[in-house]
Amino acid sequence: MADEESKQGEEAKPNTMQLKVVSQDGTEVFFKCKPDTKLEKLMRAFCQRQGVAMESVRFLFDGNRIRENQTPNELEMEDGDSIDVVVAQVGGTPTTR
């Protein structure tokens, strides 16, 4: 768990961690949050900022999907970890969609 916070993320106060959200195009957005804050907040903030709909993207941590009501703690995230954002995929042919 990330809370044995001796992490010294620069401005990281105890109990605050920095998470990086990386989009497919390589854009990185940093968020500070508390280990017990639901990730929904981060996800919404990210989507808002990027102007994308929540339903159109998925957030992955180490390849695993993140659900909105999970917290960094539950997922054993650590300061500085990154979260991937990927666009929802649909399987079909290019011509039809």
Partner 1 sequence: MMSQVYIGTFDAGAAEVKFDSKRITFMLGKPTPGSNSYVYAHLAVTALKRFEVDKDRGTLCMWGMWDLHFADELNGAYMPFLSHMDAEASIFMQFNKADFPRSSWPSDILKVHPKFAQLIHFTSGHMGRPLAAHAPTAAKKPAPKPKAPSSQGGRQQKAAVSGGAGSSSGDMQQTLTGGRYTPLALQPSGDSNRVVLVYPDEQAKDAVTLTDEELQRLVENEYLNDTLVDYKLKQIQASLSPALLERCHFFNSFFFKRLMQSIGGNKRLKDPAAIAEGYKAVQRWTKSVDLFAKDFVFVPINDGEASVEEEAASAQGAVGGVTAPQFDDDDAVVNPPSTDVTTTRRADQLSPAALLPAAARPGREPCIMYLDSMGGSKQKAFHLLKIYLDLERKDKEAKGTAGKPLKVEGAGSVDLTAEVHEYRGEFDKMPEYDIEVPHQNNSVDCGLYMLQFVSRVAHEQPDLAGARKRRWEEAECQGGGKLGLKDLSPHDITEMRSDMYMTIKALGEEQQAKKKVKAEGKAEGAPSVAAGVADGKRKRSKKINDEDDDEC
Give the footprint of partner 1 on this chain (CB under 8 A). Answer: 22, 24-25, 27-34, 36-38, 41-42, 45-46, 49, 55-56, 58, 60, 62-65, 67, 69-70, 74-75, 84, 86-97
Q: How far is 22 from 75, CA to CA, in rounded Å? A: 17
Q: Give the pairing type, strands 82-87 and 64-65.
A: unpaired
List, in sequence order, every residue forming a beta bridge with 20; answer none if it has no partner: 30, 82
- Least CB distance to partner 1 at residue 29 (A): 4
- Least CB distance to partner 1 at residue 4 (A): 19
- Least CB distance to partner 1 at residue 62 (A): 4
Distance of CA 31 to the CA centre of its chain: 9
